[in-house]
Chain A
Amino acid sequence: MNSHQKRTPPKMDMYLRAGIQLLFFLFLPSAFTTAFSGIQSVFTQLGNSSPVVCSAFVTVLLALCAYTIIFGRFFCGYACAFGTLGDAVHSLYLLICKKRKKKPVQLKKSWRKPLSFLKYLILTVIVLLCFSGVYANMKGWNPWDVFSMLRASNLKLSGYGLGCILLVLILMGMAVCERFFCRFLCPMGAVFALLPVLPLFSVRRNRSSCIKRCSACERICPADLSLPDTGSGIVNGDCFQCQKCIRICPKSSAQSGRGKLRGNEMWFTLLRAAILAITLILAGI
């Protein structure tokens, strides 16, 4: 059996994740919109038949994509300000339900899988709008703009009615389904999910030690994924690297890392967060 896992105090990883999320939210909150502006600017330039310039947006986009190829969608799970907002709203909703002794509303499981393709559709539509040049004239609909303005305590929201309504709807979705926006709607998430991810740091499970019919890891997964086996090179593009499955496993058989490095997930998490922060700062956020 693995002795490393036993020494980690329970819930420690939860606090670690919340702490990292809070720090990124406070100090590097605009990474997700900046990266997506990169996608938009590339396609706007292509549509204008002007050369693709490596602007500040594109640099951030490239940096984040390179990071995701190596480390998986760690950015989504730990650093994206909008994802953090979603996690906060969801936990708040669960807490309120618990206090009021009501059963929290959940999004039907059979809906979740087909809904997750919606993000690719949204990405395609936005990219086409940028390419055709229509996007530049569409103002006030983007819920991310509204969020960014609120975060910068800029309250001049007139003309952003549609964006405000969409943001409220998204917040409601976030409450009833963990990572609602990230799974179903996020166009940046769609880009990340399409990237090839090296299977270096992804979580896998040792099936031979699994308890029969235990599906704890699958049930806690915010993306409803089942873990790939140890040794298989599969990395699911929808995995946010939230690592909840590592803690929930009663047999400690869900692990990331290789060989002797197994069981040191907490340190890996810290290391990945540090590398991400450095990458983003170097990219000029």
Chain B
Amino acid sequence: MHTFWVKLCNLTLIGILIFGYNTVLAHREEQETAHRLAYEQAHREKTVGAQTEKSQRYTDGVYTGEAEGYGGPVIVEAAIENGTLTRLTVVSSEHEDAAYFDAASILLDEIVEQQSTDVDTVSGATFSSNGIIHAAQKALKKAEEVS
């Protein structure tokens, strides 16, 4: 029973450490966001100018792209509105492993947010990540070719 308590203490300690680590990081992030907001407020005029300048690379419409994931093809659908990517959804991912694919799915939002497929793969779910990224690349390529 002695070893049990020792191990339990270690485990609790690890839990507390990770929790503390997360709390510190969340606190820092909060401060940083506050700083950034203040900064952006000051430079608002400049950024507004840059925004409208964005090139109209894509033609409006809905495009699909397919690429190899972990266990088979992954098909995504990209919707383009006013020349920007507004929505990226998965149409089919039959042979993907649920947990891995879920982990990789955050890339969908990331690609839309960045307006680019130049995003890092989710560590541990490289196959599914690459499936999503490559499929999105193909869909966007179609959107580019139409114009």
Interface residues of A (CB under 8 A from B): 30, 34, 37-38, 40-42, 44, 46, 49-52, 55-57, 60, 130, 135-136, 139, 148-149, 152-154, 156, 194-199, 233-235, 284-285
Decide yes or no whether B91 CB sits under 8 A from chain A. Answer: no
| CB contact between A60 and one of B22, B29, B99 (< 8 Å): that residue | B99
Tell me whether B99 and A51 are in contact (CB under 8 A): no
Main secondary structure of the interface of B (DSSP, over half): helix
Residues of B within 8 A of A40 (CB): 123-124
Does B26 sit within 8 A of A, measured CB to CB?
yes
Give every chain A residue within 8 A of B10 (Cβ-Cβ): 194
Q: Is A51 a contact partner of B26 (Cβ separation < 8 A)?
A: yes
Tell whether, in the assembled complex, residue B25 and residue A37 are in contact, meaning their CB atoms are under 8 Å apart: no
Residues of A with C-beta under 8 A to B7: 194-196
Given contacts A194-B7, A198-B4, A233-B4, contact A57 B103 (CB under 8 A): yes
Using A49-B25, A152-B95, A154-B70 as known contacts, say yes or no to A34 and B100 having CB atoms under 8 A apart: yes
Report the minimal beta-carbon distance from B5 to chain A, rounded to whole angstroms. Answer: 8
Query: With A56-B102, A57-B103, A196-B4 given, is the CB distance from A152 to B70 under 8 Å?
Result: yes
Do B11 and A52 touch (CB < 8 A)?
Answer: no
List residues of chain B with CB within 8 A of the CB of A41.
103, 123-124
In the docked arrangement, what's the CA distance between A37 and B70, Å?
15
Q: Which residues of B contact A (CB under 8 A)?
A: 1, 3-8, 10-11, 18, 21-22, 25-26, 29, 68, 70-72, 95, 97-100, 102-103, 123-126
Taking CB atoms, residues of chain A closer than 8 Å to B125 are: 37, 57
> For residue A60, which residue of chain B has the nearest CB?
B99
Q: With the chains together, A156 CA to B6 CA distance in Å? A: 46
> How many Å lie between the Cα of A46 and that of B123 in the bound state?
13
CA distance A199 to B7 in the complex (A): 13
Contact partner of A52 among B8, B22, B99, CB < 8 A?
B22
9 A-B contact pairs sorted by A residue (CB < 8 Å): A30-B97, A42-B18, A56-B98, A56-B100, A57-B99, A135-B123, A139-B126, A154-B70, A196-B5
Question: Which residue of chain A has the shortest Cβ distance to B96 in the bound complex?
Answer: A152
In whole Å, how far is B109's beta carbon from the nearest beta carbon of chain A? 14
- In the complex, A198→B102 CA distance in Å? 32
Measured in the bound complex, the distance between the Cα atoms of B5 and A55 in whole Å is 29
Query: Which residues of chain A are within 8 angstroms of B103 by Cβ–Cβ distance?
Result: 37, 41, 55-57
Q: Which 8 A-B pairs have the closest CB atoms?
A: A196-B7, A233-B1, A37-B124, A152-B71, A56-B99, A196-B8, A56-B102, A51-B25
- Cα-based distance from A198 to B126 in the complex (angstroms): 36
> Closest approach, in angstroms, between the C-beta of A54 and any C-beta of chain B?
10
- Given A40-B124, A44-B123, also A199-B99 (CB < 8 A): no
The answer to whether B4 and A197 touch across the interface, beta carbons within 8 angstroms, is yes
Flag if A30 contacts B99 (CB, 8 Å).
Answer: yes
Distance A55 CA – B124 CA, assembled complex (angstroms):
11
Complex CA distance for A152 and B18, rounded to whole angstroms: 34
Min CB gap B4→A, angstroms: 5
Look across to chain B and name the residue whose beta carbon is closest to the beta carbon of A54: B22
Q: Which of A44, A51, A56, A284 has the most CB of B within 10 A?
A: A56
Closest to A153 in B: B71
Which residues from B are CB-within-8-Å of A285? Answer: 97-99
Q: Tell me the minimal C-beta distance from B99 to chain A in angstroms.
A: 4
Q: Which of A46, A136, A198 contacts B21 (CB 8 A)?
A: A46
Cα distance A40–B125 in the bound complex, in angstroms: 11
Told that A57-B103, A154-B71, A285-B98 touch, could you supply 9 new A-B pairs with CB distance under 8 A? A30-B97, A34-B100, A51-B25, A152-B70, A154-B70, A196-B3, A196-B4, A196-B11, A198-B4
How far in angstroms is the closest Cβ of chain B from A160?
A: 12
- Asked if residues A34 and B8 are in contact (CB atoms below 8 Å), the reply is no
